[in-house]
Amino acid sequence: MPLLGEVSPCNIYAGVGLLMALVDSVGHVRAAMVGARAHGRSRIGALAQLMPYGALAGGLFLWAAVSPTDVAWRAPFPLLLGAGFQFSLLMGRIILGHLCDEHQGMVAAMWTALLLLPFAIANALSARLLAGDTLLPELWFVWGNAAFGMFAYVHFAMGVTTDITELLGIKCFSLVPKRNA
């Protein structure tokens, strides 16, 4: 959305949407701080739980900005697919941590969702040192990030499902052969 330029309904809707997202985000950060204080936890810990989200968004924007092959326009689907799985993993971990009231190690585990992002950014920055050529093709990082995000999320979801079914003593995903009557 151009800051100065033609005013169109699309730009107005986008501007209102961005403003509402900003208000909502500030409200959630404030609620996290108030909730942390009410439960006797540190405010720094509450903010640390939000850092992986900022790192994910900032890392993707940085990668798109320094990409010599304009990866955000050439491969938007796998880029957003990987970011979606990574965001889902972050949300799943933070929700589970709050439900189980186990905050120890949660933030460190959340950073593993972003494992490939620094390497993708470093690969894109290597093009400036190597006369326009990256060390590895950027599409490998795009699809690798999407695959890693998907496998990390599926691993997390399967682990949580297995833990819950074992704890409750149920078999929700097992196949039982039919008995002949």
Provide the residue ranges of all domains of the chain, joining segments of one domain with +: 1-40, 51-168
Q: For residues 108 and 93, give the distance between their C-alpha atoms in angstroms, rounded to a whole number.
A: 11
- Furthest CA-CA distance within the chain: 76
Question: Residue 58 has which token pair?
Answer: 């900032």
| 5 CB-contact burial (10 Å; exposed 0-12 / middle 13-18 / buried 19+) | exposed
Q: What is the pLDDT of residue 146?
A: 95
The residue with greater pLDDT, 154 or 170, is 154
Place 1 in a pLDDT band, splitting at 50, 70 and 90: very low
Q: For residues 28 and 153, give the distance between their C-alpha atoms in angstroms, rounded to a whole number.
A: 24
pTM for this entry: 0.75
Q: For residues 45 and 104, give the distance between their C-alpha atoms in angstroms, rounded to a whole number.
A: 10
Span 101-128, pLDDT tens digits: 776 677 777 888 889 999 999 999 998 8
Question: In Å, what is the CA distance from 85 to each residue of 11, 29, 61, 151, 152?
Answer: 29, 23, 17, 9, 8
